[in-house]
C-alpha cells in the first residue's frame, strides 16, 4: 500500500483532455506532451484509449516505450477486446496501468448501456479479472459514480477490489457533485466496503459547475482519496476536468492544511501549460489561476506598492516557483547551430534525427532574419510547425501576398502544395484573413465550417509572432489547426491548412464514453 501522505497525480490530458472537441492530437504531439509530463514528474500518464483508433494505439505504444519515470496508462471499456488492446499498447512500458470502467448510475445503466445492475456488476468483475492477467496495476472507475446508488456502488467496488483492482476512481462524470457531498460519499464508500483498504482511492471530477478542483480536494480531505485525476489547464470535455496546476499549487501552498507529499516539479507547470495550449490551440484565459498571463500581474498601484515592500503582502506563491520566467531573449541572428541545439535540449524538445534538427535550425535562421530577439516561445512554435509539416503534409503552405486598403475589398493570393504539387489561387474577402480563407477554399472546396478563429501574441511587443488557431467542423468532426508567423495573415493561412490536414487525415477516434 502506498505512503498514506503521498498524493498521486494522475494526468489525463492525453485521454480525457483529448476528448474535448478539437483537442485531438497526433502521435508526435502526444509524445511531446508525454515527455513534458514526465519532466513535470507526474506519477501516472493516461496516454490515451488504445481501442479508439490505430493512431491512439500507436501513440500509447510509443509513449510506453519512451517514458521511464511515470507509469503509463491506457483507458479501456470493460470488455476483453479493449483491455487486450490496451495491454498490447502498454507492453513496452516499464510501469503500466490498465484503467477500465463501466457506468454504474441507474440512468447510464438503463439508457446508455441497457444493462441490468447485475450484468454491470458481472462485467466489471470480469474486466478487472481479465486486466489483471496483463499487469498488477489495474484501475477501475464506476462511471457517473457520483450519481450512482450507494448500495450498488458498494457491491461493485467490493467485487472489483476482490478481483484485484488496485485503484478505485470515483468519477463525477458530469460535474454534478458538490464538495461536501462528494467527499462524504467517498468516505462512506471507504467505510462500508470491507476490502476498501486494499485499494488506493482516486477522484476524477468534471468542471460543469466550476467545482472540479474543490470537489477533488474534498475527495482528498473528507473522503481520503490519495490520487487526483487531472489535466493541464483543466482541458477536457465541456467545461473540462480538474486542473492539475490548481491542485498541485493548492496542496503545496496550503501544506499547513493538506499535509500531503507531491512528487511534482512545480517549475515545469508553466512550460507544460504553454506546450499543451500551443499544441491543442486552446488558449489559456488570462485570469486562469497559476498559468494565466495575469496570474501574477499586479495592476493596482496599492498592490504594487505592497509587493515592493514585502512580496507576501499580496503574493501567496512565487511566479518563478511555477516556472514563470521573464521572457528571456535566448537567441538571435548571430547564434549558431550549437547554441540553438543546446536551447532545444534545455527546453526538453527532442528532435528525432539530424535532418529534423537541420530543418528546425533553417527555420530558426529564417525567423532570426526577420525578428531580432528569439524567445523560448518562438522556438517552441517553430518546432511545432516543423513537426506538423512532417506529419500531415497533404496541404503545405508555400507563400502568400495580400492587399488591403481602406475603402477597398481585401484580396489575397496564396501558393500551397496539395499532395506535393504546388497550386496558386486567389480570393477576396471582408478582411485579409477572410480573403485568404476564401482563396484556399476556392481550390480545396472543403466546405468545412469555421467554428473559431483566434489570434494570440506568442511573446510581448509588436515584433511578436502571432499564433492563430482555426477550429473547423465537418461531418460531425471538429479539429483545431494552429499556425504561427510574424505575419498574422500567413499564420492564419498555416492554421487553416493545418486544420484541413487534420480533416483530411480522417483519423476517427472513438469516444470511450459515448
Ligand atoms: O468522466 C469519466 O467518467 C471518465 C471515466 C472514463 C473515468 O472519464
Ligand atoms: Zn472524465
Domain 8-280, CATH number (from 3.40.50.620, 3.20.20.70, 3.10.580.10, 3.30.1280.10): 3.20.20.70
Burial of 274 (0-12, 13-18, 19+ CB in 10 A): buried
In angstroms, what is the span from residue 389 Cα to ligand 1's centroid?
Answer: 33
| Reported confidence tier of residue 108, pLDDT bands at 50, 70, 90 | very high
Take atom 1 of ligand 1 and give the residue whose Cα is closest.
173
Find the Cα–Cα–Cα–Cα dihedral 224, 229, 230, 236, rounded to 10°: -130
pLDDT of residue 245: 98
pLDDT in tens, 421-430: 999 999 999 9
Take atom 8 of ligand 1 and give the residue whose Cα is closest.
16
Q: Is 173 in the pocket of ligand 1 (CB under 6 A)?
A: yes
Q: Please, are residues 105 and 144 in contact by the beta-carbon 8 Å criterion?
A: yes
The closest-lying atom of ligand 1 relative to the alpha carbon of residue 103 is 3
Long-range interactions of 484-489: CB distance < 8 A, separation 24+: 484/381, 484/382, 484/384, 484/385, 484/458, 486/367, 486/370, 486/371, 488/433, 488/455, 489/400, 489/402, 489/412, 489/432, 489/433, 489/436
pLDDT of residue 311: 79
pTM of the predicted protein model:
0.91
Q: Please, are residues 378 and 369 in contact by the beta-carbon 8 Å criterion?
A: no
| Beta pairing partners, 484 | 467
- Average pLDDT of span 133-148: 98
Instruction: Examine the pLDDT at 207 and tell me if it is beyond 80.
Output: yes
In angstroms, what is the span from residue 131 Cα to ligand 1's centroid?
Answer: 18
| Reported confidence tier of residue 510, pLDDT bands at 50, 70, 90 | confident
Please, what's the b/e burial string for 138-151 (b: 16 or more CB within 10 A of its CB; e: otherwise)? Answer: bbbbbbbbbbbeee
In angstroms, what is the span from residue 143 Cα to ligand 1's centroid?
Answer: 6
Task: Give the DSSP letter of residue 372.
Answer: S
Q: What are phi and psi of 506, to 5 degrees?
A: 55, 20
In angstroms, what is the span from residue 202 Cα to ligand 2's centroid?
Answer: 12
User: Of 29-38, 221-230, 341-350, 461-470, which gets the smallest average pLDDT?
Assistant: 341-350
pLDDT of residue 392: 56
pLDDT in tens, 332-363: 888 888 888 888 887 777 777 888 888 889 98
Q: Please, are residues 145 and 175 in contact by the beta-carbon 8 Å criterion?
A: no
Long-range interactions of 416-425: CB distance < 8 A, separation 24+: 416/440, 416/493, 416/497, 417/393, 418/394, 418/443, 418/444, 419/394, 420/393, 422/398
Q: Is 38 in the pocket of ligand 1 (CB under 6 A)?
A: no
Q: Please, are residues 458 and 452 in contact by the beta-carbon 8 Å criterion?
A: no
Q: What are phi and psi of 76, to 5 degrees?
A: -155, 145
Q: Looking at the CA of 144, which ligand is closest?
A: 1
Q: Please, are residues 185 and 146 in contact by the beta-carbon 8 Å criterion?
A: yes
Take atom 5 of ligand 1 and give the residue whose Cα is closest.
143
In angstroms, what is the span from residue 36 Cα to ligand 1's centroid?
Answer: 23
In angstroms, what is the span from residue 394 Cα to ligand 2's centroid?
Answer: 33
In angstroms, what is the span from residue 16 Cα to ligand 2's centroid?
Answer: 6
First to last CA, the chain: 34
| Beta pairing partners, 204 | 171, 229
Instruction: Examine the pLDDT at 72 and tell me if it is beyond 50.
Output: yes
The Cα–Cα gap between 210 and 155 comes to 31
Cell of 451: 467554428
| Reported confidence tier of residue 329, pLDDT bands at 50, 70, 90 | low
Instruction: Examine the pLDDT at 327 and tell me if it is beyond 60.
Output: no
The sign one gets for the Cα dihedral 372, 375, 381, 386 is: positive
| Beta pairing partners, 57 | none
pLDDT in tens, 150-162: 999 999 999 999 9
| Reported confidence tier of residue 2, pLDDT bands at 50, 70, 90 | low
- Average pLDDT of span 224-252: 98
- Between the alpha carbon of residue 479 and those of residues 19, 21, 274, 416, 506, the distances in Å are 11, 7, 19, 20, 11
Q: Is 16 in the pocket of ligand 1 (CB under 6 A)?
A: yes
Instruction: Examine the pLDDT at 209 and tell me if it is beyond 70.
Output: yes
Residue with the three cell numbers 476482490: 162
Q: Is 364 in the pocket of ligand 1 (CB under 6 A)?
A: no
- Average pLDDT of span 126-135: 98
- Average pLDDT of span 439-450: 97
The answer regarding whether domain 395-504 maps to CATH 3.40.50.1000 reads no
- Average pLDDT of span 71-90: 98
pLDDT in tens, 6-28: 999 999 999 999 999 889 898 98
Higher-confidence position of 163 and 22: 163
pLDDT of residue 1: 47
Q: Is 171 in the pocket of ligand 1 (CB under 6 A)?
A: yes
| Beta pairing partners, 456 | 467
The closest-lying atom of ligand 1 relative to the alpha carbon of residue 241 is 1
The Cα–Cα gap between 159 and 135 comes to 18
DSSP-derived 3-state class of residue 260: coil
Q: What are phi and psi of 360, to 5 degrees?
A: -65, -40
The Cα–Cα gap between 369 and 319 comes to 32
Take atom 2 of ligand 1 and give the residue whose Cα is closest.
173
Candidate of 18, 49, 86, 171 to mutate for ligand 1, largest count of ligand atoms within 8 Å of Cβ: 171
Candidate of 49, 112, 513, 514 to mutate for ligand 1, largest count of ligand atoms within 8 Å of Cβ: 513
In angstroms, what is the span from residue 513 Cα to ligand 1's centroid?
Answer: 7
pLDDT in tens, 380-412: 888 877 776 666 579 999 999 999 999 999 999
Among 229-233, 352-356, 463-467, top mean pLDDT goes to 229-233
Amino acid at each position: 500500500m502506498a505512503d498514506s501522505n503521498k498524493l498521486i497525480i494522475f494526468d489525463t490530458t492525453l485521454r480525457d483532455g483529448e476528448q474535448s472537441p478539437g483537442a485531438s492530437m497526433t502521435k508526435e504531439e502526444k509524445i511531446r506532451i508525454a515527455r513534458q509530463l514526465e519532466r513535470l514528474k507526474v506519477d501516472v500518464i493516461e496516454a490515451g484509449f488504445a481501442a479508439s483508433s490505430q493512431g491512439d494505439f500507436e501513440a500509447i505504444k510509443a509513449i510506453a516505450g519512451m517514458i521511464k519515470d511515470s507509469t503509463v496508462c491506457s483507458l479501456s471499456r470493460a470488455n476483453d477486446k479493449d483491455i487486450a488492446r490496451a495491454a498490447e499498447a502498454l507492453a513496452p512500458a516499464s510501469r503500466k496501468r490498465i484503467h477500465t470502467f463501466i457506468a454504474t448510475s441507474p440512468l447510464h445503466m438503463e439508457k446508455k448501456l441497457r444493462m441490468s445492475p447485475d450484468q454491470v456488476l458481472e462485467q466489471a468483475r470480469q474486466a478487472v479479472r481479465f486486466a489483471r492477467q496483463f499487469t498488477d496495476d489495474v484501475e477501475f472507475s464506476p462511471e457517473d459514480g457520483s450519481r450512482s446508488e450507494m448500495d450498488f456502488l458498494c457491491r461493485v467496488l467490493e467485487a472489483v477490489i476482490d478481483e484485484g483492482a488496485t485503484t478505485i476512481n470515483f468519477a463525477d462524470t458530469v460535474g454534478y457533485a458538490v464538495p461536501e457531498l462528494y467527499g462524504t460519499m467517498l468516505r462512506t464508500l471507504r467505510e462500508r466496503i470491507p476490502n476498501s483498504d486494499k485499494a488506493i482511492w482516486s477522484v476524477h471530477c468534471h468542471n460543469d459547475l466550476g467545482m472540479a478542483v474543490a470537489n477533488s480536494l474534498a475527495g482528498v480531505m473528507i473522503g481520503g482519496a490519495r490520487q487526483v485525476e487531472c489535466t493541464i489547464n483543466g482541458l477536457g470535455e465541456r467545461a473540462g476536468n480538474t486542473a492539475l496546476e490548481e491542485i498541485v499549487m493548492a496542496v503545496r501552498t496550503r501544506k499547513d492544511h493538506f499535509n500531503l507529499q507531491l512528487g511534482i516539479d512545480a517549475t515545469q507547470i508553466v512550460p507544460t501549460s504553454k506546450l499543451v495550449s500551443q499544441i491543442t490551440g486552446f488558449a489559456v484565459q488570462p485570469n486562469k489561476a497559476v498559468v494565466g498571463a495575469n496570474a501574477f500581474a499586479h495592476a493596482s498601484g496599492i498592490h504594487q506598492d505592497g509587493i515592493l515592500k514585502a512580496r507576501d503582502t499580496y503574493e501567496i506563491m512565487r511566479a518563478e516557483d511555477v516556472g514563470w520566467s521573464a521572457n528571456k531573449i535566448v537567441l538571435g541572428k548571430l547564434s549558431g547551430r550549437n547554441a540553438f541545439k543546446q536551447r532545444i535540449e534545455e527546453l526538453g524538445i527532442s528532435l528525432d534525427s539530424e535532418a529534423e534538427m537541420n530543418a528546425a535550425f533553417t527555420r530558426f535562421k529564417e525567423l532570426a532574419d526577420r525578428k531580432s530577439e528569439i524567445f523560448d516561445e518562438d522556438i517552441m512554435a517553430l518546432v511545432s510547425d516543423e513537426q506538423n509539416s512532417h506529419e500531415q503534409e497533404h496541404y503545405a503552405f508555400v507563400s502568400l501576398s495580400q492587399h488591403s486598403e481602406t475603402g477597398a475589398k481585401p484580396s489575397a493570393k496564396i501558393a500551397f502544395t496539395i499532395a506535393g504539387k504546388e497550386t496558386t489561387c486567389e480570393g477576396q474577402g471582408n478582411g485579409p484573413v477572410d480573403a485568404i480563407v476564401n482563396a484556399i477554399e476556392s481550390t480545396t472546396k472543403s466546405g468545412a465550417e469555421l467554428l473559431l478563429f483566434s489570434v494570440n501574441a506568442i511573446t510581448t511587443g509588436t515584433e511578436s509572432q502571432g499564433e492563430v488557431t482555426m477550429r473547423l467542423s465537418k461531418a460531425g468532426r471538429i479539429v483545431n489547426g494552429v499556425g504561427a508567423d510574424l505575419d498574422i495573415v500567413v499564420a492564419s493561412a498555416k492554421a487553416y491548412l493545418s486544420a484541413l490536414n487534420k480533416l483530411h487525415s480522417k483519423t476517427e477516434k472513438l469516444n470511450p464514453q459515448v
